[in-house]
Amino acid sequence: GLDALPGANGTAPVEEVAATFTFSRAAAGLRLCYWHDGAGAWRLYPSLGTVAAAVLGPARTVGVPGDREVVRVEGVGVANGDVAFWAQDAAACAAGEAASARADLGGVVAVSRALTFTGAELVFTPAATASGLGLCYRFSTEPYAFFPAVALDVFDV
């Protein structure tokens, strides 16, 4: 088990182990299954779980300046407390809300109502036209992630 792992310079057992996982798709309800070398078997830890969160839709939203827009985002792990803004590209998203969230496109929008674990509403009123923007979304306290497939165009009519 973990208590058999040596610490720094082989002095003390390790009580914590960190691991990085990369997921190929969004998924909920994931649980840790760990191979214990000494026991020669896999062991499921149902209390150690995670969510591979992602925003999966809608594909494109078209808005009109001055009109209240309600976008129902769909994905895995969306919840009250999440926030988002519309960004031109991944670099603008990575720069964060202070540098990139445009007030004329609704600024930073909080999830106003999580409908389920897989869907929530973003409500905003754009004041300017824009095209080809992607959704920059932050799950809880995680860093922002850019979802270019969830796009916004705002056209004047």
In this prediction, residue 117 has a pLDDT band, given cuts at 50, 70 and 90, of low
In this prediction, residue 40 has a pLDDT band, given cuts at 50, 70 and 90, of confident
pLDDT tens per residue across span 77-113: 788 888 999 999 999 999 999 989 999 999 999 887 6
Give residue for tokens 């897989």. Answer: 118
pLDDT in the model for residue 30: 67
Query: SS3 letters for 26-86?
Result: CEEEEEEEEEECCCCEEEEEEEEEEEECEEEECCEEEECCCCCEEEEEEEECCCCCCEEEE
Give residue for tokens 């999580």. Answer: 114
The mean pLDDT of 54-63, rounded to a whole number, is 73
Cβ-based neighbours of 142, under 8 Å, separated by 6 or more? 53
Cβ-based neighbours of 139, under 8 Å, separated by 6 or more? 53, 77, 78, 79, 82, 145
CA distance 72 to 70: 6
